[in-house]
Amino acid sequence: MPKGDVNLDLFYYGRGKTFVVGEAHHLPFKTEAFGTVYSKHSLEHLESPFVFFREVKRIFRQEGILVCIYPTDTMLIKKTIHNLLNMRWSSALKWKRKLTGAGKINYGGHKWQLRDDGVLKLLKKAGFQKVEFERIRFPTIRMDLDRSEKKWKVLINTYLPKWQIETQVYR
């Protein structure tokens, strides 16, 4: 396993596959190389989501599809409410400053507080024509629970809020 990589699933499911390491602002692929691009929980960490969208548009064949999953500003509100209800005052106050406006932030590795209207503007500016937004539940923790013992399922399902995130399909 490479030093510093903690994604064990990659090494199980990725056996026999070729992976390319690159930079999201300068994708190392030829123009019109792909029909679909999948981005999960990376957009909020980028220096410039617009540059990433422009690069994705460049590497698309005609009628390409971008599936982009990222937390929205709604998630910040839910996190704050959850912390307040559980009397986690310091955590709630950290998020409070982030709720007053959209845009650039620096919290938990996130550089952007993303709102649908702002993302739509960036996509249109990058040349995307058809944009569809779809709300989905955040699956990661709950999918892992399916493999664990029942007592943990009950405990975690009782105490973890059901967050929602946005999934966008961009054409």
Range among 8-12, 102-106, 111-115 rated most confident? 111-115
Q: Regarding predicted confidence, which is higher, 82 or 41?
A: 41
Domain definitions of the chain by residue range: 30-56+64-170
* 138-152 b/e (C-beta count within 10 Å ≥ 16 → b): beeeeeebeeeeeee
- Cβ atoms of 71 and 113 within 8 Å: the answer is no
Only one residue has tokens 């961009």, namely 170
**Average pLDDT of 145-153?**
43
- Which pLDDT belongs to residue 166? 44
pLDDT at 56 > cutoff 90: yes
Q: Tens digits of per-residue pLDDT, 3-39?
A: 445 455 556 666 777 778 889 999 999 999 999 888 8
The tokens for 36 are 């679909």
Comparing 45-59, 112-126, 139-153, the range with the smallest average pLDDT is: 139-153
**Average pLDDT of 72-80?**
64
Which strand (E) or helix (H) includes residue 118?
Answer: helix 116-126
Q: Regarding predicted confidence, which is higher, 46 or 13?
A: 46
The pTM (predicted TM-score) of the whole model is 0.63
**Average pLDDT of 87-110?**
55
Q: Regarding predicted confidence, which is higher, 101 or 54?
A: 54
Only one residue has tokens 């064949």, namely 61
**Average pLDDT of 138-167?**
44
